[in-house]
Amino acid sequence: MDHLSRISIFIAVVQNESFAGAARQLGITTSAVSKQIQNLEAALKIKLLNRTTRKVSVTEEGALYYARSNRALADLQEAEEEIQDMKSCPRGALKITMPHSFGAKHLSSAIAAFGMRYPEVDLNINFDDKTVDLVGGGYDLAIRIGDLKDSSLIAKRLASCPILLCASPEYLVKHGKPQTPRALRGHNMLAYSNQTGAHEWRYKTPNGVVENIQLQGSFKCNSGEMLMQAACHGLGIATLPIFYVAEYIKSGALVPILSDYVSYPQRDIFAVYQPTQYISTRLRLFIDHLAASCKKLPWAE
């Protein structure tokens, strides 16, 4: 086995933190992985990995070697991809992660259309509401929703995603429609149980002042879809991203509340990817395709 192949195996071991994980990823045996790591360490005359029964970790020298070799192999792959992209038809793999509810409801059709248009692009779509590690997970792109913090990643805004308060007409007839945030204290506020921190609503007043109010309610759930259905059935007032409720507001099944008060901070939908000197044509085309599709969302500006 050549030196570059051994380096690729070493990188896979570091990323998986195990010989077995690297073996599964590469489609070879664990013993073959172990042997090639030993050969690499012998060639370099240095220990790259600390091995225990539970975990594999890099030594100080191994961390340096991983950082440099991973970048070098990535550069080689990018060079090969750039040559391929000079052809008229993009090809290769794209691994994408996105929130389940938003992605399945609003992007599935667009992604399928992209696959039909570019059949030589191998798409691997992962729906996951957790924020995954792009580098560790080997992802080319992530769709993320929220108020993005500063990071080394590059983000392209695709659409707005305001958070709305809404309830069914029946609930409002029975309990009254709140006219101020303070009036929410007298209502059953449906809660998303996976959120960190207190059950509260943070908002910006018509005068631009940021305030917050503590909320109370008898219904909690870790599913936005369930909260939307609970609101439609008249259980209380829901605070949800617009992609859950836009169609129900349009049909009249839900009524927006306190529209003059804007949830804060502003949330948007982004395509996020790693910074690099070269972006493959297939990734650029995929991002452009999603951006065009998001302009057709029911709430798009």
Mean pLDDT of 145-150: 78
Average pLDDT, rounded, for the chain = 90
Instruction: For residue 292, give every residue at least 6 positions away whose Cβ sits within 8 Å of its Cβ, in sequence order, or none.
Output: none
CA distance 295 to 110: 12
- What dotted CATH number matches 3-84? 1.10.10.10
Strands 200-204 and 262-263: antiparallel
Fold topology of 90-160+267-294: D-Maltodextrin-Binding Protein; domain 2 (3.40.190)
SS3 content of the chain, % helix, strand, coil (to 5): 45, 25, 35
Here the tokens at position 28 are: 């070879």
115-145: pLDDT as tens digits? 999 998 999 999 988 888 888 888 999 999 9
Mean pLDDT of 241-270: 94
What residue spans define the domains of the chain? 3-84, 90-160+267-294, 163-263
| Entry pTM | 0.69
182-218: pLDDT as tens digits? 999 999 999 998 877 789 999 999 999 999 999 999 9
Q: For residue 165, what are the β-bridge partners?
A: 239, 257
Check for a shared fold between 90-160+267-294 and 163-263: yes
- What dotted CATH number matches 163-263? 3.40.190.290
Asked if the model's pLDDT at residue 86 lies above 70, the reply is no
